[in-house]
Every structure is written in C-alpha cells, then in structure tokens.
Structure 1
Amino acid sequence: MLEASGLARRRGSRLVDALQDRIVLTLRTPEGGIAGFIGRHSPRGHGPKYLASRGSAKGNVLYGLAENRQALAAGARPVIVEGPFDAIAVTLAGRGRYVGVATCGTALSPAQVDALGQVCDLGTTGAVITFDGDSAGMRGAVKAFEQLRGAEAVRLPEGRDPSAILAQDGPAALHRLLDRSRVPLADIVVDAALARFPRLQFAEDRMRALQAVAPIVAGLPSGQVARQVVRTATRLGLEATTVNDAVVNAVEQARLQSGRVTQSFNPVDVAGLDAQPGHAKPYAEPAVARPTSSAHRPPYSLRPKT
C-alpha cells in the first residue's frame, strides 16, 4: 500500500521513505478525494523545495481548494501561489477575504483553472496571481495570463514568498500586501511585451512594440481594454486613438485568421484620453462601447502625441 501510494519506493528488497525528512501534506481533488502527497524539505534539507509522491496528479489539482471549498463558494477570493505552505499562509492572513491555493510548483494548467471554477465564481470574485519578479516568475505570470485574462497580480518582494512574509512580518503585513499591491495581470504581461523593445526612441521599434501589444489588449475582457490602451500609449509616446486603432485591427485580424468571431469587441472611447501622465483611468472602470472613427487613419499610424 505504501508503495502504491507513492509514499515509499522499493530499493532492492527494502521499502524506503520517498519523502524522507519532509513535512508531508495531502493533495486532494476538489471533492476531497486523495490525489497524492507532497513534501516540503526542512530548512536544512536538500533537493527540491517541494517533492510530490510518484503518480500524484499535482498538475490537475490545487492544494487548498478542497480544504476551503466553503469559503470560496461564499465569495472569498482565490490567491494562486506556488507552494502549499504559501497557500496556508495566505488563508491564515486572509481574514476570510483571501484563500490560498497552490499549483505545487507546476505552471497553472487548464485543469487547475477548471477545478477552481467548479468551486467558486471566477467571474465574480476574480483571482489573484502571486509571482516572483525574476525571469521564471515572469514566465509563470504570462502562462497564468493565458488561463485567467481577467486576473489580478501581486509581485512578491525579492526572495520572499507568502509563508516567509507571514513568519517574519506577521499576518497583517501579508494581508496589506494582498490589499494594496494588486494590479491587473494584464499590466504585467503588457509591460513584459514592451520590455522586448528597448529602443523605443526609434519609430521602427515603436511600430514593432505596438504590433506585439495590440493582440494582447484585443484579447482582454472589455472592462480592461481602456486602461491598457492608455498605458501603452503613454509608454510609446503615442495618442491613445492610435493605439486603439491598432487594437481594433488586431481583433479583425484574429477574426479573419480564425474564420469566426471569437469574442465581441467594441472599440474604446478614447476621446480625451491622450497619453498624458496621470490620464490612465483607474482599474475596474469599464470601457465605453462607442466606436471611434478609424477608417480615415492607417491602423498603425505612429503619429506622436501632441
């Protein structure tokens, strides 16, 4: 039984502990069934920080989801973290507002998003993604964006995870971080796309940057489009109407390539929202569904702001 569960492995004629010197937690399906086990090494331990039992379906489940079904169903906001102890820390500090769920070291998968959606209404509560600011963390945030385009994000302090923040600074500090540091995940993804073009003083690079960002913005929930149009215009030194035209063009290109309408889209009303400092509207203000007159301008006109 121990071998079948993945908690032990055979070495010759002996069974040895597969998760030796680790704190072992149970991975459960959303319904509460056992899906496997995961162990965290001690502070002086060696090897990977988290190690799952052989055969565990960690790519399909989220640690903390089954344990907090009632809180999530009641409207608590899921905070997606890397490790089980981080999930526990978020829940302890969350005061019923936040509940931690952990991917257990894997990239967020469609199966995990589906499991989360079965327990809570993501369209109402939304989800929060935490990530490290290093390159691996950024890649994880972009991967999560593919699954949860309407999510928010919290960039963790360098070298610290939620469990460390709870242990060193207390629950109030972790709660403040979740309350005050949330930004749309789209901010992170758009900024990462723009960072690929370091020479934005040149019109050619601004053209390429705009072409890279426009499809990202075109795929956002409608309530987030205006914010990213204005942010992109500010970063590129363009009029918001120019960026808006590029987004509309990206939507049309996607429709032509797919041969069908993948989502409804209304051009954003950007009148009066030219890219000036401080003109970006607050997050969560819905985009205004009023067409702009783009027929008389080239879709990628790089006319600078005036």
Structure 2
Amino acid sequence: MKSRLYAAHAEASSFYRRQLVESPGGWAAGHLRSRGLGAVLASESDWQVGYAPDGWSRLVGHLRKAGFDDVEIVAAGLAFVTSNGYLVDRFRDRIMFVAHDVEVRPVGFIGRSDSNRLRYLNTRNTEIYTKARTLIGVDSQVERLRSGAVPVFVEGPMDAPAVGLAGERWAGLACGGTAITREQAVMARWNARTGKVVVALDGDLGGRTGAVRSLPVLSEVFDEVLFARLPDKQDPAALHAVGGGRLNEALGSAIPLADFAIEVELTKWGNVLDHLSGQVNAVRAVAPLVASLPAGRVAAAVARLARAVDLDEEVVSNEVVAAVDRGQRQGRQARNRRPAGGPVVAAEVEQLDCSRSP
C-alpha cells in the first residue's frame, strides 16, 4: 500500500506543477513573482512548486484517470469524503509545496492560500506523512547540499526557495513551523557535506524562541550551529523580496546560536542582577549554554558572562564546570536508559550514508 501512496504523491506533484507552469497569469504565479521567487516558475527550475486549481475534484479526477482508486487517494491524504459521499480535493486554489521524507520521496504537501481561509494547510497525518519527519526543499537542493552548501532551517515553505535563490552557498529547508525536530536535523545532516548549519527562523518572538529551543537538537547533529538574526517581523522570503542581497548578508553574518541563546537567557534575568542571588541564579541558568560552546570559545564566554552579571570569573567558571559535569551525568543516564540497539545520531547518519546513491 505504501508504494501506491508514494506514487500518488509523485503524480499529484507533477499535476500541481503543470497547473502552475501553464498558468503564468494566475494569482499564484503573480504572488511568487511579487516575492522575488519568479525563478521557480521556469520549467527547468529544480523547485517543483505547484498550484492546486480551484474546483472540487480536479486532482481526484486526474488521479482516477492515472489508475488510482478512491481508497488510495483518501489514504494518501490528497482528498476526503464529504457527508454526501463525494470525494473532494483536500487542496484547492493554493500554491503547493512538496514535503519529502528522509529518502527524498514526496509524502505530503503544504498549500498556501490567497484568501481569508487558513493561510497554510498541511497534509493530514497518513501512513507515510508526519510533518515532523519531513522537509520542504530538500529535493530541490540535494545536489547543492552534497556539493558543500550550508543547510539553512526556515519556518515557511516560501522561505526555502528564497534562501536557495539568495546564493549558491545556501540551501533553504523549511520545517513548517518554529520547531526543528531531530528527524529533520538528521535528514539535513545526511544530505549535507558540511557540519555547519544556520537557523533563520522568522524575526519575531516565536521564531527567536524556536531558534533557541532548537540548539540542543542541532548541536547533537551538527558541529557548528549558527543563528541569522533577521530584522523584526521579517522572514527570509520578505527579506529576499526587498532585494539588494539583504538575505544573503543576513545569512553570511550569522553568529553562533549558543551566543544568541545566552543573550536571550540573560535578558530574562535583567531585573534581578542587582543582588547576589539573582546574579548567581542567572549564571546557573546560562552556564549550560556556555558549556555547549566549542572548547576554544568557552573562556571568552565566561569572561563576557562575568562582566555582564558583575561576578568574579572564577565563580562563573566553576558554575560552567558544574554544568559540564551535570551534562555528562545526564548523558550517561540517557545512554543507560536507551534500549539495546537504540539510535544515536552518529549511527543514524552513518546508516543513512550507506544507502546514499552515488
């Protein structure tokens, strides 16, 4: 059954792509051009962005003609049965972005609306699709990633091609929200030659909070985790649309995500840094983040933190050492709790590497 679901998504992706390319005067093509993404409209583009036409069952009719039965179409999440028993397309009048799994198979979609309806609509969970285990853009940039481009995690599907068009050294991968999962991180690392990654979530509270929360997950998988600080209330697609290389500049100026996380955490303690207990508690909150930095950068971070909270460097250093010890104990406990043969990141990546096509 799974093979039929993959095949249905491949057929749907081709159908949506044709609808977009053959309707250059429609609102979908116009919207993409207005966001500086006109290049994805070219028939030779690697970006297989599409368009779900308006109408109740345009895709259903196409899939039936292609040999798929109604049970398969519903199981794939591409349509649903109404109360009157009609089979209706799930996606209608939307720009369509394909979600791929770890084997770069099309398994779902995110559709963007141009009306007052829900702006983004995902495929419902199916036997082959869960949003947390997919990425938007990996299929379009797999060769670029394997040639050394830096993976860039973004929120929305419009942001992924924006990053890809900002410069050859970047590969935009949309996680479909502010939470970057372990599965998504491993998928990106498997396909990337470099051990570096950039987090470029939206320039708002949700995006910045999501970036900080992604640090432990990404640090397990990548050697260097960077943060691109976008202007307030801007996302990568909006910054790309402004032009002038603004997005490329923001990505190129990315700082270590741990540094940003320290900055965010210290801000929370700003009102209590005028007395000793507040200073010590602030240091204890930040110490694990300092401990997560590369060894060569810890001493400088300790010095900056000591100045920020007005404490002796030795006090701060002791708290960082204690944080390292706690982290090592927790790591040993986690390994002891892991079932025999349970996954670890290095093994996951190595296993996936073995199945790569040459």
Question: Would you say same fold, with TM above 0.5?
Answer: yes
> Secondary structure of the equivalent of 2:199?
strand
Q: Distance in 1 between matches of 2:330 and 2:217?
A: 21
Q: Distance in 2 between matches of 1:79 and 1:176?
A: 14
Q: Aligned-pair distance for 1:151?
A: 0.7
> Secondary structure of the equivalent of 1:54?
coil
* Contact 1:93–1:171 (8 Å) recurs in 2: no
Offset from partner CA, 1:117-143 (integer Å, 9 cap, x none):
1111452xx100013343322321122
Alignment-derived partner of residue 347 in structure 2: none
Distance 1:231 1:140, change over 3 A: same
Q: Distance in 2 between matches of 1:224 and 1:40?
A: 42
* Contact 1:35–1:58 (8 Å) recurs in 2: no
The one-letter code of the counterpart of 1:155 is R
Alignment-derived partner of residue 154 in structure 1: 228
Matches within 5 A, 1:258-269: none
Instruction: Report whether the alignment pairs 1:39 with 2:111.
Output: yes
The one-letter code of the counterpart of 2:124 is R
Q: Aligned-pair distance for 1:259?
A: 5.6
The one-letter code of the counterpart of 2:277 is E
Distance 1:46 1:218, change over 3 A: same
* Contact 1:31–1:66 (8 Å) recurs in 2: no
Distance 1:76 1:208, change over 3 A: same
Distance 1:247 1:106, change over 3 A: closer
Instruction: Report whether the alignment pairs 1:250 with 2:323.
Output: yes
Pick the aligned partner of 1:91 from 156, 161, 164.
164
Alignment-derived partner of residue 269 in structure 1: none
Q: Distance in 2 between matches of 1:254 and 1:112?
A: 24
The one-letter code of the counterpart of 1:151 is V
* Contact 2:147–2:193 (8 Å) recurs in 1: no
Alignment-derived partner of residue 166 in structure 1: 240
Unaligned ranges ≥5, structure 2? 1-71, 336-358
Offset from partner CA, 1:166-207 (integer Å, 9 cap, x none):
22x126121112123x11101221122222212211111001
* Contact 1:218–1:247 (8 Å) recurs in 2: yes
Relative to its length, the structure with more helix (as a share) is 2
Q: Distance in 2 between matches of 1:199 and 1:165?
A: 36
Q: Aligned-pair distance for 1:16?
A: 2.3
* Contact 2:203–2:235 (8 Å) recurs in 1: no
Alignment-derived partner of residue 3 in structure 1: 74
Distance 1:226 1:70, change over 3 A: farther
Pick the aligned partner of 2:290 from 204, 213, 217.
217
Instruction: Report whether the alignment pairs 1:140 with 2:214.
Output: no
Pick the aligned partner of 1:105 from 165, 172, 177.
177
Pick the aligned partner of 1:130 from 180, 200, 215.
200
- TM-score normalised by L of structure 2: 0.66
- TM-score normalised by L of structure 1: 0.76
Matches within 5 A, 1:33-72: 33-42=105-114, 44-47=115-118, 49-55=119-125, 56-72=129-145
* Contact 2:178–2:211 (8 Å) recurs in 1: no
Distance 1:29 1:45, change over 3 A: same
> Secondary structure of the equivalent of 1:104?
coil
Unaligned ranges ≥5, structure 1? 263-306
Q: Distance in 2 between matches of 1:208 and 1:253?
A: 16
Q: Aligned-pair distance for 1:210?
A: 0.9
Q: How many matched pairs? A: 255
Quick one: percent identity of the two aligned structures? 36
Alignment-derived partner of residue 294 in structure 1: none
CA RMSD in angstroms, aligned pairs only: 2.3
Q: Distance in 1 between matches of 2:303 and 2:100?
A: 43
